[in-house]
Amino acid sequence: MAKYRLSQSVNQIIITQTRDVLAMYGVATIMYPFYLDFALKVLGMQYRGVCGHDLEREVRTLIRGWVKRGLKQEVLDTIRTDVLNISEPPGPESPLPE
């Protein structure tokens, strides 16, 4: 039960910090659920034990997918680094096709 309470506390902190980032960037509130889904998916990966460069690469892949759906790269990058404390993976990244 204590582990569940801890995870709920962490989830609430991530949601609050993500909302702060979205407000800072002036993201329309109708878009909040998509950015929150991104943050919680990444948090779920961390809970399942994905870490290090594997996590960084997985997050980069997630970001690319969300950008293709219309979310802003800069906002997702800020959530990744400032809220979730995950750095950009090493190595070159191929540009997104237009």
Tens-digit pLDDT profile for residues 11-70:
899 999 999 999 999 999 999 999 999 999 999 999 899 988 899 999 999 999 999 999
Closest to 34 (Cα-Cα) out of 64, 76, 74: 76
The fold of 2-83 is Methane Monooxygenase Hydroxylase; Chain G, domain 1 (1.20.58)
Does 97 score more than 60 pLDDT? no
**pLDDT score recorded for residue 74:** 97
In angstroms, the Cα distances linking 11 to 55, 73, 83, 88 are 18, 22, 11, 22
Domain spans of the chain?
2-83
**pLDDT score recorded for residue 13:** 94
**Exposure on the CB side of residue 57, measured as CA atoms within 13 A:** 8
